[in-house]
Structure 1
Amino acid sequence: MRSMLLTVAALLAATTIGGCSITDWLRPYRIDVRQGNYVTPEMVAQLKTGMSPDQVRFVLGTPLVVDPFHRNRWDYFYRFKPGRGEATEHRLTVLFDNGVLAELQGDIEPAPADRIVPPKRVIEIGTEQQ
């Protein structure tokens, strides 16, 4: 009886000690957090100097920050924080001069021309004159 009790105690101790090393699955689930404007290299490659602000907004979306003191500067910022791991951040600043795109600054490089997929169908929208 005593040997059986010692065996059960040893197994219980081994299981308890072994269970302490497997705590990764005990941590709660954490969601991935995405904040800001997701701007891809393909989107940046579509931008050309001389584009109007409306054309830039069509390609990139509404900027995250439009500074009222610097109306010629739009800032696009994206931050991704996975549930486990380090956060990554990307910035793109669009500068206009005289109402047209003049310069791009940031850490998002344009995609090579061979990676850009043209649209399957082009729809021209115009106003009919009567």
Structure 2
Amino acid sequence: MKRTVFPLAVAASLTLLTACETILTNLPGVYSIDIEQGNMIDQAMVDQLRPNMSKRQVLYIMGSPMLTDTFHERRWDYLYSEQPGGDARVQKRIALYFDGENLVGVQGDFRPSQLPVVKESTETTVDVPKRNLDRTMWEKITGLFGGEDAGNIPAKPENKPSELLTE
């Protein structure tokens, strides 16, 4: 009897522990962080790649490769892995092939577009109208204390209607 109770107790406790694990991972309202790893790759970056680009130009567009294999020096590998909020992991991969210093091929989850790259301008121009000030802030402050420049500021001429008629 003792020989059958112990294995049953171990099996029951293991079953309960695995049930707790699945409950804890699927609890509603529990926050799970987004996990992003590797080189951020998007289609706009890959669309900028053109045949016969130099390695420096590719570095400028794509950034440093995740993996530069010593056995395959012609190939640069870029990997990007994202796991949003505990969901299934999504992994994207692209390999760039070089002949000497020039880009000759692209392989992976992205394909470069044949259309010319048109980058949207993010610059905005703001025209600020000029303000007509009687006096600057400094002139106003020194005028309160009777500074040297306070007497040199010409006052605005006030034209009275009676003076305009007599002239």
TM-score range, shorter chain: 0.5 to 0.7
Q: Match of 1:65?
A: 67
| Code of the aligned partner of 1:47 | L
| Code of the aligned partner of 1:24 | P
Aligned with 1:24: secondary structure?
Answer: coil
**Contact 1:77–1:90 (8 Å) recurs in 2:** yes
**RMSD across aligned C-alpha pairs, in angstroms?**
2.3
CA distance in 2, matches of 1:60, 1:98: 18
TM-score computed with the length of structure 1 as normaliser: 0.66
Query: How many angstroms does 1:108 deviate by?
Result: 1.4
Q: Match of 2:46?
A: 44
CA distance in 2, matches of 1:97, 1:112: 21
Query: How many angstroms does 1:120 deviate by?
Result: 6.7
Are 2:102 and 1:117 equivalent residues in the alignment?
Answer: no
CA distance in 1, matches of 2:33, 2:66: 22
Structure number, greater radius of gyration? 2
**Contact 2:51–2:103 (8 Å) recurs in 1:** yes
Bigger relative contact order, structure 1 or 2, given CA contacts below 8 A and separation 6+?
Answer: 1
Aligned length: 97
Residue by residue over 1:20-77, the C-alpha shift from the partner in whole angstroms, topping out at 9 and shown as x without a partner, is xxx512xx32110000001111111111110111110000000000001111100000
**Contact 2:68–2:76 (8 Å) recurs in 1:** yes
CA distance in 1, matches of 2:95, 2:122: 29
* Structure with more helix by fraction: 2
**Contact 1:42–1:116 (8 Å) recurs in 2:** no
| Code of the aligned partner of 1:79 | S
Q: Structure 2: any 5+ residue segments left out of the alignment?
A: 1-26, 124-167
Aligned with 2:92: secondary structure?
Answer: strand
CA shift in 2, pair 1:120/1:81, >3 Å = closer
Q: Structure 1: any 5+ residue segments left out of the alignment?
A: 1-22, 122-130
Match of 2:107 among 101, 105, 108: 105
Match of 1:34 among 33, 36, 44: 36
TM-score computed with the length of structure 2 as normaliser: 0.52
* Structure with more strand by fraction: 1
Query: How many angstroms does 1:83 deviate by?
Result: 1.7
Aligned with 1:63: secondary structure?
Answer: coil
